[in-house]
Structure formats: structure tokens, C-alpha cells
Amino acid sequence: MAQLIDGKVLSAQIREEVKEAVSIRVKAGKRAPFLTVVLIGEDPASASYVKGKAKATAEVGIGSDTLVYDASISEKEVLEIIERLNNDPDIDGILVQLPLPAHIDERKVINAIAPAKDVDCFHPESVGNLVIGNDGFQPATPAGIVEMLQRCNIPTAGKHCVIIGRSNIVGKPLANLMLKKGIDATVTVCHSRTKNLPEIARQADILVAAIGRANFVTGDMVKEGAVVIDVGINRIDDASRERGYRLVGDVDFEAASKKASHITPVPGGVGPMTIAVLLQNTLKAADQK
């Protein structure tokens, strides 16, 4: 039976570290770091993530503000808001929650964020620094996964890391992070057009599922002793729950945990780590000034 990688416990360690660093910063006479979150529209999952981010900042002494706009806001207005936030010296980090309504060009909005405030690590300059291996902001979900592996003393050097999913938020930045000097994994990225995906997945020492499909990774795709990281957060209708749904990952947990050496649960796995890295990035943004 696999050992559970507890994202709640590990993220609490990081949050405690950030809290301590913020406290030292404030005692030295500097102001607390400040994050502004922009939420556009009424996507319930986005609203829930944003609430979690605001709560987490408050708990570590980081200031935050959530600007909420109607889905009908124009792209021009959004770009003007970003410009204002870029020029506000009291704001260290800017996070525009994705996805955006269809009439707003996501790339244009991301490109408008000042790289020095890009705590999501989505701006092309931030992504470039990541690919080259320069110091900079860490992409939240990928860095959260690496923190999990390292804090559980799971070796990565020379290990075959198979990532299922090629998104700009998880798959692509995680591939770059796992390749970085010091982490040193051998990386394969699979996606919807990959041939023989189960066969490739079975070769993974570290298998990361970030494809956004409930129970996509079945037990037969997991090598005996593999480390399984489940990034999926899928809402499945469930009348027995008060809110009418439950969350499941991209991995068939029951089956995979019989073969894996370590596995992350959903919820309580990668999700909380993502927020912890966002806090690290916001502190970094403030300290870099």
C-alpha cells in the first residue's frame, strides 16, 4: 500500500516558513508584502480558489486585496486595471485568476503584467527565466510538486518523470523544473495525441497526472513502486454530498495506491502546495524591491 504524501502537512511547513520570514521583514521596519488578485466572472471553482488564496495570505501576514469584476468587463478595461496595479508601489504581486471570459485575450492580459510582479510565473519573461534555469518566480503548481518530492526525500536525479498533460500552467513548466540542474530528472511529456500512453506511463518512476480528466490514470498505467502525483481537481456529481458534488483527481486512487510507493490524495495533495508557493513568490516579489 502506498504512503500518502500529505499536501496539507507539507504546505503548512512552507506557510510557517513564509510567516517567519514576513515577520522578520516587518520587524526590520519594512512593510508587509502585498498581493492583488483579480477575479473576472462567476466561475465557482475560480471563486473558491481565490478565497483560499486570500485566506492563506492573511494567515502568514501578507496583505491582499481581491478585485472582482463582472464577466462583461472589456479587455481594454482589464488592461487599464493591470497598468494601474503595475504602477502602484504598494503592490508586490499581481495574480489574474484564469480562465478569463472568452472575449478577453488571456495572453494579452498575462503579457501586460509587470514581470517583477508576476507571482504566477506566467509572463513570457518569467517562463524564459524558468527554461534557462535563472533564479526567478516559481510556477506555483510545478514548484509545489517539487517541494513535495524534496520534503518527502524522494530522489529525482536520473529518475524517469512522465508528465501527462502539456498545459502552460502545469505540464510544460513542470517539465522544465524537473530538468533543472539539481533536480536532474529525465522527462517525458505525454498529451492527448501521444501514442501508447499507458505503456509510457508504466515506465515512470515519478508519474504526474495533469490532464483534467477524472480517473484517467488507471492501475495498469502505474509501475510497481512508482511515485504518483495527481494534479487533477475534477468535480463529479454526488447527490449524497451537501454541495452536490465531490472532488476527484486524474488518478484512480484506489487502484494506483495498490502499486505506488507514494501517492498524493485529492483533495489535500497538490492543491495546498500551490497556494504555499504563491506565498513564497509574493514574499520574493517584495524582497526583490
What is the contact surface with ligand GUN in residues (CB under 6 A)? 95-98, 120, 140, 169, 274
Contact between 151 and 289 under an 8 Å Cβ cutoff? The reply is no
Tell me whether the omega of the peptide bond preceding residue 142 falls within 30 degrees of 0, making it cis: no
Task: From 151, 172, 137, select the one nearest 284 (Cα to Cα).
Answer: 137
Q: How far is the CB of 122 from ligand GUN (least distance, A)?
A: 7
Q: Which residues contact 80 (CB under 8 A, 6 or more apart)?
A: none
Chain centre to alpha carbon of residue 265 = 15
C-alpha span between 75 and 80 (Å, rounded): 9
Q: How far is the CB of 223 from ligand GUN (least distance, A)?
A: 29
Q: How far is the CB of 38 from ligand GUN (least distance, A)?
A: 9
Alpha-carbon dihedral 278, 280, 283, 287, rounded to 10 degrees: -130
Name the β-bridge partners of 111.
none
DSSP 101: P
DSSP 180: S
Name the β-bridge partners of 186.
160
Tell me whether residue 120 or residue 147 sits nearer to ligand GUN (CB atom).
120
Comparing every residue's Cβ against ligand GUN, the nearest one is 98
Name the β-bridge partners of 68.
39
Q: How far is the CB of 119 from ligand GUN (least distance, A)?
A: 9
Q: How far is the CB of 91 from ligand GUN (least distance, A)?
A: 15
Q: End-to-end alpha-carbon separation of the chain, Å? A: 48
Q: How far is the CB of 64 from ligand GUN (least distance, A)?
A: 14
Tell me whether residue 257 or residue 280 sits nearer to ligand GUN (CB atom).
280
Report the DSSP pairing between strands 34-40 and 63-69. Answer: parallel
HSE (side-chain half, CA atoms, 13 Å) at 201: 25
C-alpha span between 188 and 195 (Å, rounded): 13
Active-site residue list = 53, 97, 120
